[in-house]
Amino acid sequence: MNFETYMANRFRKSNSYKSTVSSPIIKISVSSIVIGIVMMIISISSSVGLQNTIQTKVSSFFGHISISNFENNSSLSSLKPIKIDLKKEVLIKNPKISNIQYVAYKSGLIINKKSFEGVIFKGISSNFDWSVFSNYIIDGNVVNTTNEITNDVIISEYLSKKLSLEVNQKFKTTFFKSNSIVAPNERIFKVVGIYKSGFNEFDEVYFIGDIRHIQKMNKWQRHEIGSIEVIIENFDEIDNITQELYDETSSALNVLSIKERFPEIFNWIALFDINVLLIIIIMILVGGINMITALLVTVLEKASLIGVLKTLGSSNNSIRSIFLINGTYLISLGMVIGNLISILIIFLQNKIGFINLDPETYYVSELPFDFNFSSILFLNIGVLVLCFLMLILPSLVITKISPSESVKIN
């Protein structure tokens, strides 16, 4: 242990130091570091958690990327089909794609004795990825489309309440044709599951069933579908993969990512990053300014000791190091406490969900946290370095203290 570290430890451990005027100021400064770290970690974890949760929910409905005819873009129904073999080989060969699923959409009307609702029927095939969407099933089961054509469907909790439908109940849906003179198609479906995603604009409209119903109503062949939904491995690469697929497809097909399909949602969640950055900047400034105040008050209190140390031959840099080591210790102490509190909050929230949100605004009922160790580690290192750098300039006041004046005053 060198001289500077030894003196810094003596400062902290001495009883006289703990009872000085600077003691409450130091406690406030450490508390500001604790609060700042908690705010920053919670902000980062909640922002990433919300972004990932919303991205996952939207992609569970529509995949990450959709490939369809341009004519289908402005319609709620799949009007013109695409053939599976046009894209199947290209998609399978791409290692960045984890799954492809064949779907079609058709708008209709559900009418019962009490109410009626305009709906969109999403037809799915046997390759539909239920791994995420099944988490939103609150009653019943998913639809099995692997065998013969089935009338089983899953509807949202909103539609089930609005239309007084429960699991195992049947209902009739009318699908209108583009030619109003021709009689509409009617289908009798059976509810086998009820889901709740939290996206009201989706839950109020969509129900899911066998794509072969749409193929029959539209008089399509088995290899003709409304669109291809692509699931990718890494969401961060969605823009690059979308461009790659767009370049590989014919001019008659359009390739859209969910970011392009729902720009209002993804532009909104992109604002989270700006908010988090502002919180980090503000918290670092507040914590740093408080630590500067604590340093200056401590230096003024120890003016006589600084004079004695200079008289005994200590250099300005050596004395500055004593106070900087002490300041770094206090910053580190606040960071450790702040990290422990943050981890505890994240753990409890992920276990019991005591922080609730309005699902109509945030699309989730509980605040989700995503704890990323590397991000938290870089944050801690950055805060420590920045706060330390903020202490260097104020510590220059030590060089202005005259040994003769400080010792004489005492």
Range of the domain at 289: 3-56+266-409
The end-to-end CA distance of the chain, in Å, is 30
Adjacent-strand bridge partners of 107: 120
* Phi, psi for residue 96 in degrees, rounded to 5: -80, -10
Mention every residue, 6+ apart, whose C-beta is less than 8 A from residue 177.
184, 185
Helix, strand, coil content of the chain in percent (nearest 5): 55, 20, 25
DSSP state of 402: -
128 and 32, same domain (yes or no):
no
Number of domains into which the chain is organized: 2
93 and 43, same domain (yes or no):
no
Asked if 350 and 343 count as a contact pair (C-beta separation under 8 A), the reply is: no
Residue 74 lies in a domain: no
Q: How distant, in Å, are the alpha carbons of 6, 146, 213, 236 from that of 189?
A: 79, 17, 10, 38
365 and 284, same domain (yes or no):
yes
Q: Where are the beta strands (DSSP E) in 143-284?
A: 152-156, 170-175, 185-195, 206-210, 224-225, 227-232, 253-257
Residues 79-118 as b or e (16 or more Cβ within 10 Å = b)? bebbebeebeeebeebeebebbbbbbbbebebeeeeeebe
pLDDT of residue 88: 52
pLDDT of residue 68: 86
**Below-50 pLDDT ranges, the chain:** 86, 409-410
129 and 221, same domain (yes or no):
yes
pLDDT of residue 294: 84
* Amino acid code (one letter) for 176: F
Residue 252 lies in a domain: no
pLDDT of residue 359: 80
Residue 244 lies in a domain: no
Residue 348 lies in a domain: yes
20 and 95, same domain (yes or no):
no
pLDDT of residue 26: 82
pLDDT of residue 410: 47
184 and 270, same domain (yes or no):
no
193 and 98, same domain (yes or no):
yes
155 and 44, same domain (yes or no):
no
Residue that is last in its domain, among 162, 192, 225 = 225
Residue that is last in its domain, among 195, 225, 255 = 225
131 and 41, same domain (yes or no):
no
Residue 334 lies in a domain: yes
pLDDT of residue 109: 92
187 and 270, same domain (yes or no):
no
From 290, 286, 306, 396, select the one nearest 22 (Cα to Cα). 290
pLDDT of residue 362: 83
Residue 191 lies in a domain: yes
Residue 311 lies in a domain: yes
pLDDT of residue 210: 95
Residue 250 lies in a domain: no
From 109, 104, 108, select the one nearest 122 (Cα to Cα). 104
Structure tokens at 43: 């902000």
127 and 87, same domain (yes or no):
yes
215 and 329, same domain (yes or no):
no
Residue that is last in its domain, among 159, 194, 225 = 225
User: To 5 degrees, how large is the angle CA 392–CA 394–CA 396?
Assistant: 80
